[in-house]
Structure 1
Amino acid sequence: MLNLVHCELKKIKRKKLIQITLLGAFLFPIPLTLLMVKDHSVFNQLYRMNLLFGNLLLLPIILGIVTSMLIYMEKDNDTLKNILVIPISKSRLLLSKLILVAMLSVLYSLISIIALLVGNIFMNNVIDFLMLIRFNFIIGLAVFIAILPVIVIIVKANKGYICAIIVSVIYTIINFVVTLSIGSDSGNIVLSTILPIPLILRWCMGVLPTEIKLPDNMMSSQISTQYFIGIMTVYLILFSCIAIYSYEKSEN
């Protein structure tokens, strides 16, 4: 499996578009940090802004694009049949792609901390670095799990890059709009309980420190760590199995 993941990583190195897309995502925290420093924000505010717009808006779209390129690359180059001549199942092939995407998601979440720490030099706030590492690792995994429904659609639809990108954008925007409505009068409690990205924020609200006491409607939207892990585990198992099964049944 490690060899398959390494092969998928080599494909990314050969695709300039994927490299540019990933580079843009990794650089995103830098201008956000500069903007927040200019506004004399505290570190916790900077961190939450990066979480909201970096991890919960930008990253899911980027991961959807990268996944579609990894999946359709063999089809475009007509190499999938040649790969399957080797005793490698399609399920293992897709699983290697999913593992690589999960690694990229975690890597983004961890690297984003660097820009935030540089910004904190000017903010001069005391932070728990090890806590941030652990927290961002979990966020990276959670965002990967959150885009699994998109991967299922990409595999089942099999309509090419443009369709995959449109699906990724629409899915993320719907999740993000529901996320922004959490705690408001217009918030949809059902959607914020079902959709994974709003669930990530609802969990973060309960564990991240804040400068002021949250309003009662925001407090009531928080979910426990046990509930969060349970729902994310169900998402991971369910949509991974559907994606792998659909990929196995798809035409070469």
Structure 2
Amino acid sequence: MLKLIKCEFLKLKRKKFIPLIILAAFLFPIPLTYLMTTPSMIERYTDRADAFDGLFNMVLGYGIQFLLPCIIGVIAAILFFMERDNDTFKNLRTIPVTSTQMVLAKIIVLFIFGIVFCEASTIATILCGIGTLEVYGIGYKLFLAVETGIFITAGTLPLIVLVVFFSKTYVFSILLCVFYSVLNMSATALFDTLPKTMLWLLPTPLTTFWSAGDMAAHGIKMDLEQMTGLIPSTFQVVFILGIMAFVSFLLIDRLYKQRGE
């Protein structure tokens, strides 16, 4: 399995996609840091430590939870379209590796990139905030980034099912990813009007509510009055996203087998 995962990484390395992931992690922290240090924004917080929490929350909400599904979708398109584009499905039948093992290796790579992107975004936020804000709680924020990366990636697997099912061009896959992110972000913004069941079945609102409750539990000031009854426990998030990821894996595996026949 480790060799399969290494092979999938080499595919992305040839596409020179890995450095772009790191650069994308700075896409939101830099402008959001500038926005946070403006007088109209900084006066909303009690001190610079509180402002750093606000910056981290904004990066988590806009940078990670909006951008990460798009990145995961693009990486998935590269990994799952590679055999189709190079017409190597027939060659795969000659090696002692099942299609299920290959799909599992690809999905593990997606989770690794999800974690790496979230960690890189958090580190970028810390670097941007060092000069102007009071940076603290680094250990907790890095750990929360790992959890967020896992949860968002798991919740993005239903999107990967659609990417593999349609198996169209990369442009179509990117548009599908953007639509998925916008749909999730719109649902998050409409949390006070949409039913709880719908919000919990969408990964971004579910993870947003959970992370807000988790940060509040760790002493970060959060306005949760309007979210009463919407914040799930860690067990509920793991259970919902676990089922979502498992079913998606089975569907992706079935579709991938059909592509190879």
Instruction: Assess same fold via TM > 0.5.
Output: yes
Pairs within 5 Å for 1:1-252: 1-16=1-16, 18-19=17-18, 21-28=20-27, 29-38=29-38, 39-40=41-42, 42-125=51-134, 127-182=136-191, 184=192, 186-209=193-216, 210-211=220-221, 213-215=223-225, 217-252=226-261
Q: Distance in 2 between matches of 1:32 and 1:14?
A: 32
CA apart distance, 1:70: 1.1
Distance 1:108 1:158 in 2: 25
* Partners of 1:60 and 1:147 within 8 A in 2: yes
Q: Deviations 1:173-205 (Å, cap 9, x if unpaired)?
A: 1111001222x3x33433202111110011112
Amino acid at match of 1:226: F
Deviations 1:29-57 (A, max 9, x none): 23333332344360111011101111110
- Bigger shift: residues 162-171 or 93-102: 162-171
Contact 1:60 1:168 in 2 (8 A): yes
Change in 2 beyond 3 A, CA 1:37/1:234: same
**Cα distance in 1 between the residues matched to 2:59 and 2:133:** 18
Contact 2:152 2:204 in 1 (8 A): yes
Once structures 1 and 2 are overlaid, which stretch shifts more, 230-239 or 100-109? 230-239
Distance 1:120 1:101 in 2: 28
Distance 1:35 1:213, change over 3 A: closer
C-alpha displacement of 1:249: 2.5
DSSP 3-state at the match of 2:230: coil
Aligned length: 248
User: 2:183 corresponds to which letter in structure 1?
Assistant: I
Rounded Cα–Cα distance in structure 2 between residues aligned with 1:81 and 1:160: 21
When structure 1 is superposed on structure 2, of 162-171 and 200-209 the one drifting more is: 162-171
Letter in 2 for 1:25: A
Give the aligned CA root-mean-square deviation in angstroms.
2.0
Mind listing any 5+ residue stretches in structure 1 that lack a counterpart?
A: none
1:80-138 deviation digits (Å, cap 9, x = unpaired): 32233211111111211111111010001111121221233234435222211221111
Runs of 4+ in 1 over 4 A off after TM superposition: none
Distance 1:158 1:225, change over 3 A: same
Compute the displacement of 1:211 (Å): 3.1
CA contact (8 A) 1:181 1:188 kept: no
Where 1:62 maps in the other structure, the secondary structure is helix
**Matched AA of 1:157:** F
What is the distance in 2 between the residues matched to 1:128 and 1:23?
A: 22
Q: Does the 8 A contact of 1:156 with 1:250 survive in 2?
A: no
Q: Are residues 68 and 213 of structure 1, via their aligned partners in 2, closer, same or farther at CA, if it must alter by over 3 Å?
A: closer
Q: Gaps spanning 5+ residues in structure 2: where?
A: 46-50
Q: Please tell me whether the aligned partners of residues 26 and 108 of structure 1 are also in contact (alpha carbons under 8 angstroms).
A: yes
After TM superposition, the score normalised by the length of structure 2 is: 0.87
Whole-Å separation in 1 of the counterparts to 2:135 and 2:26:
24
Identity of aligned residues (%): 29
